[in-house]
Amino acid sequence: MNDSAGTDGNSSYGHKPFKRSRSHFADRVTADGRDGWPVEAGRYRLVASRACPWASRALVSRRLLGLEDALSLAVADPLQDDRSWRFTLDPDGRDPVLGIRYLSEAYDARERDYPGGVSVPAIVDVPSGKLVTNDYQQITLDLATEWTALHRPGAPDLYPEPLRAEIDEVMEGIYRDVNNGVYRAGFADGQDTYEEAYEALFRRLEQMSERLADRRYLVGDTITEADIRFFTTLVRFDAVYHGHFKCNRRKLSEDPVLWAYARDLYQTPGFGDTVDFHHIKQHYYRVHTGINPTGIVPAGPDLSGWLTPHHREQLGGRPFGDGTPPGPVPENEAIPTAHQP
């Protein structure tokens, strides 16, 4: 997510349709270290923003898999300056592990004068201070499949091999029309471009609503990567996308199936306990000055509905498969009470 470019993720917009570019640093941290970055407990630091839906995928995956001790976390300020993501939430405005004030310093350590934006999520090699990867599409898949030796006992299989083809197909549509679709609508530079994205978004949401009417999760009977990727957009929908990005055919809370599905996930350990609504609203409404030049942050919506009963357990399903829920949130990573519903 790179809002120095005006949007989330690696992206560009202006006098042309919104387009999200590929991640420039696509090295992978793998069990065999084939890219030069072997999985190793304590070696890497995940840099994320709780405002960013792309980074939030990594936050959810890390919690569900129990990687908190193996992969440390740096949380960036939801507000940025002209150098992008900064560590002003930490004492003295400096990340206590990496010792840097801006994520861009890790980018510079890897490639001086890199011309692209500074995006999260990012994985940084602690010993060298160099960025390893900002490939938001691959990071969570690797956490699920390459970091297995460091998973907690009872960790769920978020990308089960027999279901990968179906998961990939579902995720591709969600990415194009929902995850990225809200940005295509929000940053459209013309009426036709906006309406095309708007129609594709709500067409896909209706399809997903039909799919989830009689099944608890998107693929199979357990939580998978597909649910994580869908959730991080849904949880932001009423708070920011409905109004800020003009995705206002209906609110999430006006679709009985998707609203219940999203609440089910929110109330599942590993999902809602990573969500900071204050960071989300502050970032979108105060950083996107081209859309909201006054910088006024709406007082609503009422978030208390996220904690109401969803009754999705009646559909069956096993959230963690043969595994177990993650343990308590580490004290230093807990979302402030004032930032929750």
Looking at the DSSP assignment, which residues form a beta bridge with residue 313?
Answer: none
Helix (H) or strand (E) holding 75: strand 72-75
For residue 114, the tally of other CB atoms under 10 A from its CB is: 14
Would you list the DSSP string of 260-303?
Answer: HHHHHHHTSTTSGGG--HHHHHHHHHHH-TTT-TT-PPP-----
Task: Give CA–CA dist 26/43, Å, rounded.
Answer: 18
Q: Which residues have C-beta within 8 Å of that of residue 329, sequence separation ≥ 6?
A: 63, 273, 335
Tell me the residue type at 187: F
Contact 267, 312 (CB under 8 A): no
Would you list the DSSP string of 184-197?
Answer: HHHT-SSHHHHHHH
Active-site residue, selected from the candidate residues 44, 52, 107, 136: 52
Instruction: Check if 247 is active-site.
Output: no
For residue 118, the tally of other CB atoms under 10 A from its CB is: 28
Instruction: Check if 52 is active-site.
Output: yes
Residue 20 phi, psi dihedral angles, 5° rounding: -95, 125
Active-site residue, selected from the candidate residues 13, 44, 102, 183: 183
Task: Give CA–CA dist 289/53, Å, rounded.
Answer: 19
Task: Give CA–CA dist 136/249, Å, rounded.
Answer: 29
Helices (H), the chain: 53-65, 104-110, 136-145, 164-174, 181-186, 191-211, 225-236, 242-244, 256-266, 277-287
CA angle centred on 170, ends 166 and 171, rounded to 5°: 115
Question: What tokens does 288 get?
Answer: 């996107």
Active site amino acids:
52, 183
